[in-house]
Amino acid sequence: MDPHQYNIYYRYLSFNGTTTRYFPGTTKNQKSNIRSGAKKYTIVNGQLFRKPEEKNPQFRRVVKLDEAPSVISTYHADRPGGNSHWGRDKTIAKVKQDLYIQGLRGHVTGLINNCQVCQMARAGITTPPPPTTI
Ligand SMILES: [Zn+2]
């Protein structure tokens, strides 16, 4: 989720009377969108969570756009340099169990396309490249 959008929902849902429910300058129309959009989210332990849905019946932490690549990479490869580089669909399925990430499929596709281990596996290279000498 866009970090700004995250903050908007967070502020709305954590409203307790000490600040305003919306950021200053929010239009009537925007407020209406925030109210309906925020119904899908809740705050747990100070973090925004997506509420259970039919397809994903558990609370899932909302990941901000800027932390998505690093978070997804921990699901794609269980440990750095390990052999468990999951494919696109498996990676998506694993992430979806715990997290809500907007544009997840695109993020995962980009990550795998840029993953050196996966690229080598696709090219049929099973041994790591020799260390570069300077
Ligand atoms: Zn990989």
Query: How far does residue 108's CA lie from ligand 1's centre (Å)?
Result: 10
Residue 111 — pLDDT band, cuts 50, 70, 90? very high
Determine what percent of the chain is predicted with pLDDT higher than 90.
75
Token pair belonging to 4: 């700004």
Choose between 89 and 129: higher pLDDT. 89
| Across 6-11, average pLDDT | 97
Q: Which of 35, 62, 89 is the last residue of a domain?
A: 62
Query: How far does residue 6's CA lie from ligand 1's centre (Å)?
Result: 29
Q: Are residues 51 and 73 in the same domain?
A: no
Query: How far does residue 28's CA lie from ligand 1's centre (Å)?
Result: 46
Note the pLDDT tens digit of each residue in 27-69: 999 999 999 999 999 999 999 999 999 988 999 999 999 999 9
Residue 130 — pLDDT band, cuts 50, 70, 90? low
Q: What pTM does this model have?
A: 0.83
Q: Which of 43, 62, 81 is the last residue of a domain?
A: 62
Query: How far does residue 134's CA lie from ligand 1's centre (Å)?
Result: 26
C-alpha pair distances (Å), 18 with each of 14, 21, 79: 10, 9, 43
Give the pLDDT score at 112.
Answer: 94
Query: How far does residue 79's CA lie from ligand 1's centre (Å)?
Result: 11
Q: Which of 25, 40, 62 is the last residue of a domain?
A: 62
| CA atoms within 13 A of residue 86's CA, in its CB half-sphere | 17
Q: Are residues 73 and 115 in the same domain?
A: yes
Q: Are residues 90 and 131 in the same domain?
A: yes
Total domains, the chain: 2
Q: Are residues 42 and 3 in the same domain?
A: yes
Sign of the CA dihedral with 95 first, then 101, 55, and 57 last: positive
Is residue 4 helix, strand or coil? helix
- Ion ligand 1 contact residues with beta carbon within 5 A: 85, 115, 117-118
| Across 112-124, average pLDDT | 88
Mapping DSSP onto H, E and C, the string for 64-106 reads: CHHHHHHHHHHHHECCCCCCCECCHHHHHHHHHHHEECCCHHH
The boundaries of the domain holding residue 57 are: 1-62
Q: Are residues 72 and 131 in the same domain?
A: yes
